[in-house]
Structure 1
Amino acid sequence: MEETKDTRKVREGEEIDGRKIEKFLRQNFDEIPDEPLQVRQFGAGHSNLTYELKAGDWEAVLRRPPKGPVAPKAHDMEREYRVLKALHNKFPLAPEPYVFDEGKVLGKPFFIMERRHGFVVDTEFPDEMKDVPDLARKLSSTMVDRLVELHSIDYKATGLEQMVKPEGFMERQVHGWIKRFDQARTDDVVSGERLKKWLTHHVPDSNEASIIHYDYKLNNAMFNEKAEMTGLFDWEMTTVGDPLADLGAAMSYWIEKDDPGLIQTGLGKPPVTIQDGFYTRDEFIQRYAQRSGRDMEQIHVYVTFAYFKLAGIVQQIYYRYKKGQTNDPRFADMNVFVNNLIEHAEETAGL
């Protein structure tokens, strides 16, 4: 099968039954040509498993939970499918979802969605984008502006209203992620008690609610040769809540060149945002404030919580590795990253 830059051969232990998938596809899609189904895996990501499906010139994407037991309410494929159904027409950067299976075919739920094309910018620039003038600034401003655009959509006009409960969002988030962190904690990570106490005493009191992606980061987006966004992915955490929580989460992923080394390399090679020309977090926040008109007085609280939330997400992944539920070697030292995220969150809070 033709090699592509964003897919790879399926990792050992993460295979899916191609015959069952092909039968399912032909039952649900009349337009698939009579050619063998080819399955490849998208290489990025540490959580859900995503595969490219191709038969002739027909193509789509399959998304399913990771192998082994998962945390309660995590990796909810049906919910992500419904979110995309509700959002695609209002926010076209969200791929169109085609069909959902509750687990009858593979034993795990999955959905099939539209295949988008472009370039994912992660730890280096794709060759096709390197000649774009002011590339780093364009990517930075595009990331801000698309987030503001998402937050400007009336969620009540999308169908999401039936799926969410925006009242008391930050209160639930803080206490919920403390509980998740504690449930997944292993003996080689810090307890974070001082940080958890600070967070419970500084919950922002916000009544504003908007659609939030809640995993908004550069390598969850796709761009064309002009640095225009062509797709936004990984809508698993999407909900309706405080838009500044979304901004805070985005900033926890937006690494700067002056950040501690272990923050830069916690998920592998440092992202391109450490390079000259990219917005700093302060510049990102300032542009967001200008474009959205929102008050940034408490943004340090949102960013502090975002680092703690990220620590909880990483710890859940590490917990699965520690318990032998996955053998992906990328996860072996994630406890070190968790400890550094807690320390970085404490510094952000001024503790």
Structure 2
Amino acid sequence: MNSSITQQIEIEKNKGALAEPGTEVLQDWDRLATHLDDHGLRLDLEITPMQFASGFGNLNYLIKIDHALAVLRRPPMGPIPPGANDMAREYFILSRLSDAYPLAPRALHFCESTDVLGAHFLIMQYRPGLIIGSHIPQTVFERWQGEEPIGQRLGEQLINALAGLHRVTPAEVGLDKLGKPEGFIERTLKGWKKRAELAWQDSVPTSLLNVIEWLEVNKPDSATSSFIHNDFKLDNMILDPDSLQPVAVIDWDMGTQGAPLYDLAVLLSYWTETADPQCMHDLAQMPTSRHGFFGRQQAAEYYASLTGERMEDIKYFRVLASLRIAVVFRQLYRRYQEGGTQDERYATFDALSAQLAEFAQAVVENKYF
């Protein structure tokens, strides 16, 4: 076995990036090997595929193909919300975006059939590095030699990478037919309203109904358009562990053409501040309430300084993204309720989603940026 590959696998294990033994969602690796062999690719099963420890979305596995490490991505087990976990879409994006946006990994293979692993899947380039979720590992503080606080560097890197994506011209990379910029706001609001009705059935919280009514009345007349990631956040960025420079942005299955301020607002919907209500801290998505991160408004102002984007409509997109995240956590609870996962973390998401709906109404009322 190649010593550099062995070393990289050990690095992933040591930093806790891989799922604990016995907790993995196993796949039919022999069937995958046969499938890949039919497509001129060799899966090396001398190295057992290993699942990455993940959040609440797609399942990711570290595998070895043709003498190099790669990543296999497939939807989670159980029912999938409409339009979510679209590996075909992600493969299409990664097949075209990486030349213009080097942080996008290259796509290597896509399988549409469900006969191999029970769901469609893609294989993409592996980019080693550090992923930071709700907490910054102690080793990062020990290695950090920058003059500014770690949070300031991470916040700047996030906004820099997002602004860089929004500079990509979709037509130049063959992504101009993916999504429809016209009517993006109306479709997005309609889609999340429908998902809220499905997720809560006949019991959509009053606070969320108020938010939806406000969004319907206050739609901007127009919005600029760019290619957007649609779920841009810290743990979807892979970082160099020493410089904290980004080496990759991942999780492109919802990418489309749309309003760049919505992409920014989605990022800010995960961006907790110290004075936020408990539900925003319970999200535990990004460690932005400490370590020197700037606040949401400062993040928006920094983005504007990089892009020249006008901020008159940022409140609208903040409210729309706040609706989205409340619905997402209710959808996750429904997956748990319907037996799609046994992860006990999901049991708390019913209450959390209702509290996030109240926070969305507080954004409407200008109590929070």
TM-score for both structures, normalised by structure 2: 0.88
Choose which of 226, 243, 253 in structure 2 pairs with 1:236: 253
Q: Could you tell me which residue of structure 1 aligns to residue 124 of structure 2?
A: 113
Mapping of residues 1-40 of structure 1, within 5 Å: 2=10, 3-5=13-15, 6-9=17-20, 12=23, 14-30=25-41, 36-40=46-50
Q: Could you tell me which residue of structure 1 aligns to residue 4 of structure 2?
A: none
Tell me how far apart the structure 2 counterparts of residues 154 and 88 of structure 1 sit (CA, whole Å).
13
Q: Say which SS state the counterpart of residue 288 (structure 2) adopts.
A: helix
Show structure 2 runs of 5+ residues with no match. 1-8
Tell me how far apart the structure 1 counterparts of residues 68 and 42 of structure 2 sit (CA, whole Å).
8
Deviations 1:215-273 (A, max 9, x none): 0111111111101001111111111011101111110011112211221113xx46321
Confirm whether residue 283 of structure 1 aligns to residue 298 of structure 2. Answer: yes
CA 1:228–1:13 in structure 2 vs 1: closer, same or farther (change >3 Å)? closer
Choose which of 214, 229, 232 in structure 1 pairs with 2:230: 214
Q: Say which SS state the counterpart of residue 307 (structure 1) adopts.
A: helix
Q: Could you tell me which residue of structure 2 aligns to residue 263 of structure 1?
A: 280
* One-letter amino acid of the counterpart of residue 70, structure 2: A
CA 1:313–1:97 in structure 2 vs 1: closer, same or farther (change >3 Å)? same
Alignment: residue pair count = 348
Asked if structure 1 preserves the Cα contact closer than 8 Å seen for 2:18 and 2:53, the reply is yes
Confirm whether residue 96 of structure 1 aligns to residue 111 of structure 2. Answer: no
The CA deviation at 1:10 is 6.2
Tell me how far apart the structure 1 counterparts of residues 350 and 277 of structure 2 sit (CA, whole Å).
16
Tell me how far apart the structure 1 counterparts of residues 300 and 40 of structure 2 sit (CA, whole Å).
44
Q: Could you tell me which residue of structure 2 aligns to residue 123 of structure 1?
A: 134
Tell me how far apart the structure 1 counterparts of residues 224 and 194 of structure 2 sit (CA, whole Å).
25
The CA deviation at 1:205 is 2.4
Tell me how far apart the structure 2 counterparts of residues 348 and 174 of structure 1 sit (CA, whole Å).
16
Asked if structure 2 preserves the Cα contact closer than 8 Å seen for 1:164 and 1:240, the reply is yes
Mapping of residues 139-288 of structure 1, within 5 Å: 139-185=154-200, 190-191=205-206, 192-224=208-240, 225-266=242-283, 269=284, 271-288=286-303
* Superposition CA RMSD, Å: 2.1
CA 1:317–1:114 in structure 2 vs 1: closer, same or farther (change >3 Å)? same
Q: Say which SS state the counterpart of residue 7 (structure 1) adopts.
A: coil
Tell me how far apart the structure 2 counterparts of residues 117 and 347 of structure 1 sit (CA, whole Å).
40
| Larger CA deviation: 256-265 vs 52-61 | 52-61
Tell me how far apart the structure 2 counterparts of residues 187 and 41 of structure 1 sit (CA, whole Å).
37
Tell me how far apart the structure 1 counterparts of residues 244 and 48 of structure 2 sit (CA, whole Å).
30
Asked if structure 2 preserves the Cα contact closer than 8 Å seen for 1:81 and 1:111, the reply is yes
Tell me how far apart the structure 1 counterparts of residues 91 and 361 of structure 2 sit (CA, whole Å).
36
TM-score for both structures, normalised by structure 1: 0.93
* One-letter amino acid of the counterpart of residue 306, structure 1: A
CA 1:118–1:13 in structure 2 vs 1: closer, same or farther (change >3 Å)? closer
Asked if structure 2 preserves the Cα contact closer than 8 Å seen for 1:188 and 1:335, the reply is no
Asked if structure 2 preserves the Cα contact closer than 8 Å seen for 1:7 and 1:43, the reply is yes
